[in-house]
Structure formats: C-alpha cells, structure tokens
Amino acid sequence: MSACTTCSRKRSKRLRGKTKNKMENTTGLNELAVSVHADNQAKGFEFSSLQTGTVLMLIVGELSEAMEAARSGRQAQHEDVDLVHSLMMAGPLEDFREEFLARIKDTFQDEIADAVIRLLDLCGAMKIDIEKHIEMKLEYNRLRPFRHGKKF
C-alpha cells in the first residue's frame, strides 16, 4: 500500500467521524422529504402524475428564478427574515402571510427554498434516503484529487 493511500485512508477515517457528528446535528432531511411530499400531495401536487424529467425541469425553473432574483437584487434582509419567522412561530398567521408577501416572496432565498422543497418532494416520492446519499457523496468528494482535472 502506498503512502498516499495510507494517508488518504487515515484522513478519510478522521473526516468520517467529523461528518457523522456534523450530519447528526443537521439531519432530518429524510423526515422533511416525507413531510414535504405529504404536504404537496394534500395540495394536489401528485408527483406520480409527472415524469421524473418534468420534475427535474421544475427544479431547474426554480433555480432560474433564483438567478433572476439575484440579478435584480431581490435579497431578503436578515432582519426581515427574523421578523417574518417570528410571526410564523407566534402568529397570527395572517400577519405572517402579509409580511412574507411583502418582505420574502420572490427573493433569492425564497426561490432557493422552492428548489430545495421540490428536491425534497422528489426524494420523498422516490423514497431516496437523501441523508445517506449526501454523506456518501461528501466522503467520495474528499477522496478526489484537487479539482480532479477540472479548471473550476
């Protein structure tokens, strides 16, 4: 076994522990995927009636909207996010709705959230264990060489 391989394996073990702890503190994506999918079904958005490619293009559409929001300078301000989130948590919900529409709707962050929600809906519908797939992909990426032959 080469020194490089040995170093890579040691590094991988060391990082795997860090990843696991970090992921344990930030997970819940699988549960969120199930919840998002159930909410979307309840609102009449049935994934099974769409082709997977159509769903993927809807996700791309949300990312395009995020790009346009960024190009137009539509950014949610931290204090607005905090205010609207506190209204969501404490109510009344009509105040939350009004402030969300005025301060958050169609901002870059809102469009990114839409893309993530669509991705989670896809994971929920297809029963993808997204937490495991993210952990595996992160570990694999750590094992790759710098930029792995790409310019960017």
What six digits make up the tokens of 16? 């795997």
55 touches 122 (CB < 8 A): yes
Closest by CA to 55, choosing from 104, 128, 107, is 128
**pTM, 2 dp:** 0.78
Burial of 27 per CB tally in 10 Å (0-12, 13-18, 19+): middle
What six digits make up the tokens of 73? 């300078």
User: For tokens 């969120």, what's the residue?
Assistant: 32
Which region among 13-17, 51-55, 68-72 has the lowest average model confidence (pLDDT)?
13-17
Q: For the chain, what are the domain ranges?
A: 12-145
- pLDDT tens column, 95-140: 999 999 999 999 999 999 999 999 999 999 999 999 999 999 999 9
